[in-house]
Amino acid sequence: MPSEPTTGPSFKRAVVALSGHPNGQRLVRLVGELAKAHKAEVIGVHVVEIDWSMPLDMDLAARSDEIQQILDMAEGTAESVGVKLESVLLQARDVGAALVDEAVERDADLLVIGLAYRTKFGGDFAMGRTIPYVLKNAPCAVWVVREPIPEENS
Amino acid sequence: MFVLVIGGGKVGYYLTKELIGSGHEVVLMEKDRDRATQIADEIGSVVISHDGCEGKYLAEAGANRADIVAAVTGDDEDNLVICQMAKHHFDVPKTIARVNNPKNEALFKHLGVDELISPTRMILGSIEQDIPVHELLHLAALGEGELELIEAHLQAGSPAIGKAPKDLTMPDNCSLFAVIRDGKATPLRADTVLEEGDKVIAIGKAECEAGLHEQLIGSQEPAAVG
């Protein structure tokens, strides 16, 4: 007996990492459309990494416009696909650890993170350190959404 | 309180763990990448995998706002360099160094390290209290580390038995000030006659040790202490 058509893998609550990269819009739309089909919650998290030379609760006034733009973009994109996105701003020492902690705290069953296509010094494709950390430590499902390879590199 | 711990050996690892447990903000620096990763996996992302002897990495770890820098590597030279940079370049209010070789203690003090922790000295002190490894027992360093509190146990054959302090020729910069007899400590007066089994407490500079030994224990060369 053929199975019923599905609308993609299901989840109840997704945490989406908002890095500020242009790929973020694609990410929010993708998760938003799936969340709508499953009536799931979407939480958009932007983490500002504070280096150890500064106190963790340092004032981010100087970057407030840039941060607000990232959060507004996520909320607006989610709204455009008919989903409400709760935006969260965190200040942390390490982006990966903050994302995993937030997913655990929110009891999320999905963590979605975007991956910009870039090569390290023109050589190997670089994953950075956040994605490996999240893949290793997040207890929930993790989706890594890579942006398309720019035409000149393909 | 923000504490910067340098050295991810057993001491650094447990120190970091305890400090985090007590609610302090802590960063641990460990130059061995594998060890740093191992610790980070266990206690979280408070580990920086860099050499704490380099100023730029100390800056990266937040030495500029640290309340305490604890250098606990297994290498005295590294611990000294770290504490000196922390003190003089980053104005850290308190520096603590692990000193593995007790002979380096005076140098560390002289160069401005605020607090020294010498596991070797502690273990030796503990052993000496139970077993008289040396006839002169170093009880503590005083002041800036120049003076020492020393105990001499008068055993049969000691030239001081039957004599009073006024009859002894004490070296310069050294004085006897108390005697422990039958478990009771009393001030040592100039005319107190010393007896076998007395423990005489003296304060003096390290260089007085030979003279003190000759007067209280006998003319045999003193064993190296510490």
The confidence score (pLDDT) of residue A5 equals 46
The confidence score (pLDDT) of residue A94 equals 92
Tokens of A70: 């990232």
> How far off is chain A from B7, nearest CA to CA, in Å?
17
- Cβ-based neighbour number of residue B108 at 10 Å: 24
Decide if B169 touches A, using CB distance below 8 A: no
| Buried/exposed code over B187-199 (b: 16+ C-beta within 10 A; e: otherwise) | ebeeebebeeebe
The confidence score (pLDDT) of residue B134 equals 57
Strands B94-98 and B115-117: parallel
Is CATH 3.30.70.1450 what the domain over B132-216 is classified as, yes or no? yes
Are residues B60 and A53, on separate chains, in Cβ contact within 8 Å? yes
Tens digit of pLDDT at every position of chain B (226 positions): 999 999 999 999 999 999 999 999 999 999 999 999 999 989 988 999 999 999 999 999 999 999 999 999 999 999 999 999 999 999 999 999 999 998 898 899 888 899 999 888 888 877 776 665 557 887 877 766 678 888 888 888 888 899 999 998 888 888 898 999 988 999 988 899 999 989 999 998 878 888 888 888 887 554 444 3
Q: Measure the CA angle with vertex B103, ends B100 and B106; round to 5°.
A: 105
Calpha distance B99→B142 (Å, rounded): 17
Cβ-Cβ contacts under 8 Å, A54 against chain B: 62, 65
The answer to whether B38 and B28 are in contact (CB under 8 A) is no
The confidence score (pLDDT) of residue A117 equals 79
Strands B199-205 and B174-181: antiparallel
In B146-216, where does DSSP find H-type helix? 209-216
The confidence score (pLDDT) of residue B209 equals 82
Decide if A101 touches B, using CB distance below 8 A: no
For A91-100, write each residue's pLDDT tens digit: 999 999 999 9
The confidence score (pLDDT) of residue B46 equals 93
> How far off is chain B from A26, nearest CA to CA, in Å?
30
Please, what are the averages of pLDDT over each run of 10 residues along chain A (154 residues)? 56 94 88 92 95 88 86 95 94 94 96 84 78 94 86 60
Which residues 27-56 on chain A approach chain B with CB closer than 8 angstroms?
51-56
The confidence score (pLDDT) of residue B67 equals 96
> How far off is chain A from B111, nearest CA to CA, in Å?
26
Q: Measure the CA angle with vertex A80, ends A75 and A81; round to 5°.
A: 105
Decide if A5 touches B, using CB distance below 8 A: no
Calpha distance B30→B39 (Å, rounded): 9
Cβ neighbours of residue A138 under 8 Å, at least 6 residues apart? A99, A100, A103, A111
Strands B25-29 and B47-48: parallel
For A114-131, write each residue's pLDDT tens digit: 988 777 677 677 788 899
Q: Where are the domains of chain B?
A: 2-121, 132-216
**ipTM surpasses 0.90:** no
Q: Which CATH class is domain B2-121?
A: alpha beta
The confidence score (pLDDT) of residue B23 equals 92
* pTM summary value: 0.69
The answer to whether A50 and A60 are in contact (CB under 8 A) is no
Q: Measure the CA angle with vertex B30, ends B87 and B58; round to 5°.
A: 30
Max Cα separation, chain B? 66
Name the residue among A91, A102, A84 with its Cα closest to residue A17.
A102
Decide if A24 touches B, using CB distance below 8 A: no
Cα torsion A42, A36, A67, A18 to 10°: value is 70
Residue B43 burial (C-beta neighbours within 10 Å; 0-12, 13-18, 19+): middle
* Collapsed DSSP state (helix, strand, coil) of residue B183: coil
CATH topology of domain A13-144: Rossmann fold (3.40.50)
The confidence score (pLDDT) of residue A60 equals 80
In A1-154, where does DSSP find H-type helix? 23-38, 64-80, 95-105, 130-137
